[in-house]
Amino acid sequence: MSAPAAGPQAPTGVRATARIAAAADGSLPLLAGDGPLALRRTRATRAGSRVTVVGAMTAPLGGDRLAIETEVRAGARLTVDSAAATVALPGRDPAAEAHYEVRLRVGEGAELRWLPEQLVCARGSRLRMRTRVELAPTARLVLREEQVLGRYGEQPGTLATRLTAHRAGRPLLDQELHFGPGAPGGWDGGAVLAGHRAVGQLLVVDRCFGTDPVEPRMLGETACLVPLAGPGVLVTAVAPDALLLRRTLDAALEALERRSAADVPAHAAVR
| Residues 148, 86 within the same domain | yes
Of the residues 183, 210, 228, the one at which a domain ends: 183
Query: Torsions phi, psi of 179, nearest 5?
Result: -140, 160
Domain that holds residue 255: 196-271
pLDDT of residue 262: 67
Give the other-Cβ count within 10 Å of 170's Cβ.
10
| Residues 174, 89 within the same domain | yes
pLDDT of residue 165: 98
Residue 8 lies in a domain: no
Spatial contact of 97 and 67, defined as CB atoms under 8 Å apart: no
| Count of domains observed in the chain | 2
pLDDT of residue 30: 98
Each of the 271 residues of the chain gets a pLDDT tens digit; together they read 444 444 445 557 899 999 999 999 999 999 999 999 999 999 877 768 999 999 888 899 999 999 999 999 999 999 999 999 999 999 989 899 999 999 999 999 999 999 999 999 999 999 999 999 999 999 999 999 999 999 988 889 999 999 999 999 999 999 999 998 877 776 777 667 888 999 999 999 998 887 777 889 999 999 999 999 889 999 999 999 999 999 999 999 999 998 877 664 443 344 3
Return the bridge partners of 226, or none: 234
| Residues 137, 174 within the same domain | yes
Spatial contact of 163 and 136, defined as CB atoms under 8 Å apart: no
Report the C-alpha gap between 32 and 130 in whole angstroms: 20
Spatial contact of 183 and 160, defined as CB atoms under 8 Å apart: yes
Query: Torsions phi, psi of 215, nearest 5?
Result: -95, 145
| Residues 253, 168 within the same domain | no
What HEC string does 17-58 produce? Answer: EEEEEECCCCCCCEEECECCEEEEEEEEECCEEEEEEEECCC
Report the C-alpha gap between 263 and 19 in whole angstroms: 34
Cα first-last separation, the chain: 77
Q: Identify the CA nearest to 234 among candidates 271, 189, 202.
A: 202
Of the residues 149, 183, 217, the one at which a domain ends: 183
| Residues 19, 152 within the same domain | yes
Residue 2 lies in a domain: no
- Look up residue 89 and give its DSSP letter: B
| Residues 124, 34 within the same domain | yes
Q: What is the pTM of this model?
A: 0.90
Report the C-alpha gap between 230 and 232 in whole angstroms: 6
Find the angle CA(251)-CA(202)-CA(23) to the nearest 5 degrees.
105
Return the bridge partners of 131, or none: 102, 163
Residue 56 lies in a domain: yes
Q: State the virtual CA torsion across 187, 190, 195, 200 in degrees, nearest 10.
A: -70
